[in-house]
Amino acid sequence: MSVLLLGDFAQLPPVFDKPFKKTTSARADKAHAQVMYEKFNGSVFLKQVVRQAGDSQKPFRDALAALRDGNPTPEHFHLLCTRIQNRLPPSDVIGFKDALRIYRTNAQVNSYNREHLEKIQKPIINIACDSTGRGSNKAASRDAGNLQQQLSLCVGAKVMLTENLWTAQAPTSREWSRLFVLKGEGSFLERGGSSSSGEEEAYSYHRFLESRAT
């Protein structure tokens, strides 16, 4: 079996963690990951930019490289300012309607998600979590595997999977999907039973209309 481990020297460090390639850990899973990483004995360096290829993209390509290395110039700044939303015509702005956003705080993320959930104009269901253990109902989401105290969903909402739920039918980690209902009889989300082939239960309300690498 061949394994390719992809990375970028300009990537951000792990959030609330340390790179396993540089440190040892008392946790068995992290120690095992470090041992496996050290078994990689070959490297391939990609030197050609493909996504922003061509002469017309050179200024933008140079600006991205400067931002990555932490040495942007005033020219790069002015170039990027030309793409600020309030400087673009409506025909360009509408093209970013479904684009991913990066925000500085979780509050900004929650506000954006709520705004777009309301734009779907469907009834919203607020699902409260069940907490067990002392103080669990006050735990931050980052301390609980990114589980939220409350999850707001509606039919047509876009969600991202964080675990491989059913790889045989394509629902895998980091894929986009939209929620839908097979039978709207008093419930927004309907759980399906085992398939005829004996595979484990799947959640029938996941309809994978979009799959994008992120």
Q: Note the pLDDT tens digit of each residue in 114-153.
A: 888 888 888 888 888 777 777 777 777 777 767 777 888 8
Is residue 76 scored above 90 in pLDDT?
Answer: yes
Q: Decide if 25 is inside a domain.
A: yes
Residue type, 203: Y
Q: Positive or negative, the Cα torsion across 142, 144, 150, 152?
A: positive
Return phi, psi of residue 198, to 5°.
Answer: 85, 10
- The pLDDT confidence band at residue 190, using thresholds 50, 70 and 90, is very low
What is the predicted pLDDT for the residue at 22? Answer: 64
Q: Decide if 64 is inside a domain.
A: yes
In the chain, the N- to C-terminal Cα span, in Å, equals 25
What is the predicted pLDDT for the residue at 177? Answer: 55
How many domains would you assign to the chain?
1
- Percent of the chain with pLDDT strictly greater than 90: 13
Name the token pair of 162.
């964080």
Is residue 108 scored above 80 in pLDDT?
Answer: yes
Q: Decide if 22 is inside a domain.
A: yes
Q: Decide if 16 is inside a domain.
A: yes
What is the predicted pLDDT for the residue at 77? Answer: 95
Rounded mean pLDDT, 167-173: 56
Q: Decide if 88 is inside a domain.
A: no
- Mean pLDDT over the full length of the chain: 72
For residue 49, give its domain range.
1-73
Is residue 56 scored above 80 in pLDDT?
Answer: yes
Q: Decide if 42 is inside a domain.
A: yes
CB 192 within 8 A of CB 166: no
What is the predicted pLDDT for the residue at 206? Answer: 36
Is residue 200 scored above 50 in pLDDT?
Answer: no
Q: Decide if 40 is inside a domain.
A: yes
Rounded mean pLDDT, 38-62: 84
